[in-house]
Amino acid sequence: MIPGLEYEQPNNGYSSSSSPSMQSVDMSPQTTYGSSNNNTYGLHRRRPANQSNGYQHHGEDKYHTPSKARSVAKKLDLFPKMERDYEVRTERGGTVTLVGYFIMFVLVCAEIWEWRGLNAQLLEGILVDTSVNKKMKVYLNITFPALHCDDLHLDVIDVAGDSQLNLSNGLYKLRLNLDGSIISKNKIATEANIKHEEDKKRQDALNKKLPPDYCGPCYGAHEKEHDCCNTCDDVIEKYKNRRWNSDAVMPIAEQCIREGRGNVLPKKMSQGEGCNLHGYFTVNRVAGNFHIAMGEGVDRGGAHIHNFLPEDRVNFNASHTIHELVFSDEDYGHIAAVGADVVPGQKSMNAVSKVVTEETGTTGLFQYYIKIVPTTYKGDVLNDFQLPFTPTSETKLETNRFFYTERFRPLIGEVHEEAYLTGDKDAGTAGVHIGGKTGGTLHEKVQHHDATNAILPGVFFVYEIYPFAVEVTKNQVPFIHLLVRIVATAGGVFTILRWIDSALYSREKKGSR
């Protein structure tokens, strides 16, 4: 019996049992049995009942002629199929497949690692700084191990003409022993009480000579018409409130003359203590400088000068250690106060220490030239900082990064005889380390002399603001980018390994012939 065909008796009056869903097609010669209806025995092929006088319309049917659209789609098939019976599997092919899986795993892990690294990268863009009327908060923590707090004065000057003399708001002084330890509060309180008692006794003695209704003049610095300045300190305080020069009024103020303070002369340097200055102050975001120098600074005739005794310059020890220096934005200045390294690159001068000795001129002028770059952080990069608040996608952190160079000029420098003869008195001075002979030169044959340079001992921080601002954001690589690279990596690995395996198999087949 042929598969798909069956024998069927003729329908000559007898019923035959057949499948209700199938019909039969007559495929045999006709044989007559004496009936007008010539029914036959024959071979028939089954077909579904829902098909009428034709073959089934399936794409796999070899008797079916496909449509033109299906023929075109078949030609475009990039994935030809092969019967399993025609596939050849080898042990080498399995080994290559395992190697491919391992290589793909390594490469996929590398892609994920690279994707995470790209998302952690910081992108910096340069913009023109269009901000106006902005200020900066400068956080400073500096220690002078051999400079008394009475001789430590901080002045600020900028190119806009604003000056702040002997700053005290937001700044604190901490008295230190010469070994660096902090002087106890009890000792400071005892000294303050003794000084207060002495001042009170002196003031009481002076007040006895004054009438009971005495009201001293404030020399134009009064806030109200009937304000009284009965002591020299009252006059000085009024002048400081108006940011006037109190030294100019002390020689003529009757209160200061009466108290013996009318003769304004620079005081001598105090000895035996160190001082730590820490805190913050606000400056305009324009070029300028702030400095701690010998003597009290005053403004006279539009010029900033310092009053001091020239012969006392050698006693101003400019040795210092910078513990912290931060140029922060005025609105976000409280972030620097938390004491953590919030923004990278913001504290490049921390732990800078300079010590002067007799070999380096006993003291001198330290100058730090600082270049400030306004910087804005925005977006996801803020999540990496230790901020005291939770940032959002719209949060911007404006601050300043900076870099610096430095210079030192000693008070006492070594000048050789040849320099005097040639008129070059600066010759022979080299940075912090002064003097020293140079073998094989004329300097070995001439005499050397110590000379005092015309400098103001102190520490100067000269800063400039760049006109360009830097905007820092975090790189964001979408996940679909990673997915595409993984798919490309997997496909490339298996394609190359298939080529290699096919080449080896073809070579093996040729060799076996």
Give the dihedral of Cα atoms 370, 376, 380, 385; nearest 10 deg. Answer: 40
Predicted confidence (pLDDT) per residue in 329-346, tens digit: 776 655 544 433 455 555
CA distance 260 to 258: 6
To the question of pTM greater than 0.85 for the whole model, the response is no
What's the pLDDT score for residue 24? 44
What's the pLDDT score for residue 444? 41
CA distance 397 to 230: 49
What's the pLDDT score for residue 483? 93
Give the Å distances, CA to CA, from 468 to 133, 373, 374, 395, 464. Answer: 16, 7, 7, 21, 12
What's the pLDDT score for residue 262? 66
Q: Kind of pairing, strands 468-474 and 364-378?
A: parallel
Three-state SS string over 302-341 comes to CEEEEECCHHHHHHCCCCEEEEEEEEEECCCHHHHCCCCC
Question: CB-based contacts of 97: which residues, under 8 Å, 6+ apart?
Answer: 497
CA distance 87 to 93: 12
Contact 317, 356 (CB under 8 A): yes
CA distance 240 to 248: 12
**Structure-block tokens of residue 85:** 């019976």
Query: Please, what are the averages of pLDDT over each run of 10 residues along the chain (513 residues)?
Result: 48 45 45 44 48 46 65 75 72 85 92 89 84 86 91 91 86 89 80 74 72 86 85 86 77 81 71 90 92 86 82 87 86 50 60 78 87 85 69 75 89 53 39 34 46 84 91 86 91 89 82 71
Predicted confidence (pLDDT) per residue in 6-27, tens digit: 444 544 444 444 444 444 444 4
Question: CB-based contacts of 157: which residues, under 8 Å, 6+ apart?
Answer: 163, 164, 288, 289, 290, 304
CA distance 364 to 361: 7
Contact 322, 142 (CB under 8 A): yes
**Structure-block tokens of residue 480:** 């679909």
Predicted confidence (pLDDT) per residue in 138-151, tens digit: 989 999 998 999 88
